[in-house]
Each structure stands twice: as structure tokens, then as C-alpha cells.
Structure 1
């Protein structure tokens, strides 16, 4: 994952300090692009340990059109908890519950989860029901029937619904390209990228999405191309990224899918990460 370490170094060297919505402050650089060759291995970060099952569960959650954190939390995926919790804190039911207590209520009280675990019309809604359009089904159909099209695009950005979302989409649009040799490339445009916490997840998630779509369409996954608008390192992550760039990357792992099910029926246990070696976890606080 030398490409990712180069990304960190570029922002550290050329970024500017900026105030931001979270009040944490960032070192930001606008207009970044990296290319990850999926034929050389699966681009899961090795300079710190990444919880791969969280990436799998989140992607399957998107593909099912779900927008409530209940499924994620019940599968020990807590990457979305802060946003509905902040909304819950403003409600009359708050009563000083900690975020851990909030999580337990999401797990144990389905009605509570329905009310307070909802994120609004975020990725899953837009992917599977964008004003009545199932973008993922259409994408797969078009890749199979018109591979040379330049319209293999899925958008998560619906301006009419932004104010109804707990967090407007950071990874806003992706496009696919089929080569004459039957290889599949996926390009993501991400308006905002948290280089330390979020971007490693985004790289792995969209690389996995490319693999799943290629499998569905009987193509060969090739490149994941990652374009970021505002790529930033939060000021409270500077120590962590400086530690990361001192670590030597290990060989990349591989993905094995042990199921014949289609992309919409896959389960997390069907997607196996093999030969993953990494440096230890580096923790950092999410800016909300």
C-alpha cells in the first residue's frame, strides 16, 4: 500500500491548515488521485490493522439498501454510531445515555433502533432506490448488455435529500469501465476524505465492490481509481499518520468468495480475506 502512504506524505507536505465543520481542524489538500492494481492483491492497509469484517458488513448493508445502523451494530460494526447518537442526544428520550448505552439499546430494542438508528436516505437508499431507480441492478444489467457504454455510473448525491441525511455522502459517485479484454475498472469520486480513518475503509470497500461486480458480470477486476476532492488529515491524527509512514508495508492479502450466490444474496461469511499480515492497530477519534 505504498500508494496510500504516498497520499499521506502528499497531504503532510502540501496541505494547508483549515478550520472545519467539526471544529477539530484539518490539514487539507484539494484534488488527489491514487490507483490501486487489484491484480497485485487486495488493497487492505497493512501499516495498521484494519477490521475487514466491518468493511464487508458495511458494503453488504449498502447493497441491500439498508440505512439503519441496527444490522451493523448487531454485527459489531460501530463506524456509523456517532451520527445517529448525536441526533439522539437532541431528543427528549436522551436522559444522558452514553454512546455505549445507546449502542446496547439499538441491539436490544428493535423499536428504539427503528426510531433512533436511522441515518436517513444515505448510500443504501440512493444505490437501490434513487427516486424509484435501482441504480445497482441497472448498472449490472448495463455492464452485461452494453459494456462499452460511458454511462456505468452510480450516484449517492441527491441534492433534494441532503438535509434529510445524518451525514451527506462523502463518496458521492462511482463509474465503471470495461476493457476490450474483459477487465473491470472502478473510479470513485469522493468529495471529502478523512485520510487516517475513513480513506483506508473506502479503498478496501470500493475495491471489494469492484471484485463483486466483476464476479457478477463475469469480468476480471483490474484497477480501483480513487479521486478525492478535499483530502484531509485531522489535526488530532497527525501523530498517528506520522507513525504510519514509518512502517514498512507487508505483502497484500487476497479475497476468496466461497459462494455461488449473486451479489445481493451474499453473506459476510462468504467473503474470506486470506493471508492478511499487518502492523498493530493505531487508534484515532472520529470527528463528527
Structure 2
């Protein structure tokens, strides 16, 4: 059985048996609640889909952006990564009434510091929570019951690396993106929200819980990104990559993705791509896109489909 068969089986089940539901975007979905996939990461294995092209460098650049703690799309669009642009673009169009194209909007983000600061920020999304979870201290001088936010919050990723090194048997190797107090400030609350890690026999395994799962477009990126992060953490803690366990909550396909689903399910997976990290940086935050090489990835052609915003 090819590792990708479980993904295709999940897609087939959702499209055939999923419950039809309305959704936030107004597009409509077919959904199941609760799903699991497991992918071996032994011997360099990496869960890249082969029945369509997954632009893994885009996913890797996004992961590096998360780890930087940045929440502005400017560094992404400068690298021609467009996956976060639709949310601030929609906000800009609604606020100004200007029917600006995505290309023109991104050009202004890159060229104009003030415009990028005002319109490119996504709020305290993923990376902000990962490396700068807010902490508040009592400020009695300002009045009873008032608190002051620390200049620097909790770096969950740095603490995770330390715990994996110093206490590998811990059951607390977790980082979290779902900060209830700040959800309303985020352009999009985290979908891949909770990561837990497990060390056994010198191997590092990641369990990812994803609350909302766009199976056609999002999940292929999410499983690669989680596997990539596991490789990076394993390298930094002198462990071998073990397994990626993906758990999905609301697992869905959008109704307007029928052509993608039909085409992808007609294809047969093949090949066994592998990931190589060619350099060991000094810390988890110092990786560069050039550090990652994927070998033997020969996917079938890309399948386009609209993103529901």
C-alpha cells in the first residue's frame, strides 16, 4: 500500500458519504468529523502527494515564516508566496471599495512600508503564538485588577526544543496556537492548532491535531509542513524522525472542488520522495530554504481549484 492511498481513501469517503453543510465562506462543504492518517518518516520518507504536484518550497517558506514569529505577509509575497494574501486583500477591498488586483496589492505591500504595516498584517496568527505567546503581569500601581503585557512572551518552540533535549520522556512536549483571548484579532484562527511530540527508541514522532481541514488544498501542505518541522526538531535534538500522525476534526471538501476531486481520484500514486536537510543550523530558528532538498519527487500535474476565503 502506498502511503498516499490513505489520503485518497479519505477524499473518496468524504465526497461519497460526507454530510453536506453550510460553512463560513458560503461555499458549502461535504464533511466528516474525525479522521487519522499516519506517515512514516523513517529513512528520509516525506509525505508529499504524488497524484498532484504539491509546491513544497512554498510550504517550507511558510513554515520558516511561522518560526520567525512574523505576522505580516510582506516577507511571503517578497518570495512569491501568495497563500496568505487573500485575507488582507479582501479586508482592504471591503474597507476602501477599491477593486484592486492581487498583483497590484502585493506590489504595494512590497514597495510601501506604511501600506504593508497597515494592510499586510494578519493579527496574532500562528507564528506569534508559537514564539511569543503573550504573558501578563499584575500592575497594582495602575489599579487593582489591572495587568501589563510583558514585552516578550513565551517562546513555545524554544521551550519545546529544550524539553525534548533535557526531558525526552515528558508527556508535555506540546505547543499550541489556539489562544482564545486573541482569536478575534486573527485574520484566520489556526487550523493546525495543536502539536504534540513523543520520543521513543531515539525517534521523534509528531501528532498534529487540525481542527479544520480543507482536504483538497490545505491538508497536502499541512502534512508536509508538520513532517518538515519534525525533521528540523529531530535534527536539533539529535533524534531520528519517527512518524507523523495527523488527526483531523472537521474534515471537509468544498462543493466547488468537484473537478479536482474527480481528477485526483482517477490517478494512481507512485514514487517515494525523500527529504534531506543539508545543513545543521545553530538553532531551530536559523534554517533557510536552501537547507531543504527533496529527492525523487516526480508528481503528476498540478490540479487548480479556488480557495474559499
The residue that corresponds to 1:208 in the other structure is 228
Point out the more displaced range, 192-201 or 94-103: 94-103
Which of 86, 89, 104 is the equivalent residue of 1:85?
89
C-alpha deviation, 1:231, in angstroms: 0.4
Question: Is the 1:3–1:36 contact (alpha carbons within 8 Å) kept by the matching residues of 2?
Answer: no
Which of 45, 59, 78 is the equivalent residue of 2:49?
45
**Structure 1 runs, 4 residues or longer, greater than 4 Å off:** none
The residue that corresponds to 1:34 in the other structure is 37
Question: Is the 2:67–2:127 contact (alpha carbons within 8 Å) kept by the matching residues of 1?
Answer: yes
What is the distance in 2 between the residues matched to 1:243 and 1:172?
30
What is the distance in 2 between the residues matched to 1:229 and 1:153?
18
Which of 61, 69, 73 is the equivalent residue of 1:57?
61
Q: CA RMSD in A?
A: 1.1
C-alpha deviation, 1:273, in angstroms: 1.4
Tell me the TM-score normalised to structure 1 length: 0.97
- Structure 1 regions of 5+ residues with no counterpart? none
What is the distance in 1 between the residues matched to 2:250 and 2:63?
23
1:166-201 Cα offsets, whole Å, 9 max, x none, are: 00111111100001x111110011110000000000
Which of 105, 109, 114 is the equivalent residue of 2:112?
109
Q: Determine helix, strand or coil for the equivalent of 1:85.
A: helix
Q: Are residues 1:162 and 2:183 paired?
A: yes
C-alpha deviation, 1:28, in angstroms: 0.5
Q: Give runs of aligned pairs for residues 126-205 of structure 1, distance below 5 A.
A: 126-131=129-134, 132-179=153-200, 181-205=201-225
C-alpha deviation, 1:68, in angstroms: 0.7
Which of 71, 76, 98 is the equivalent residue of 2:75?
71
Which one has the largest radius of gyration? 2
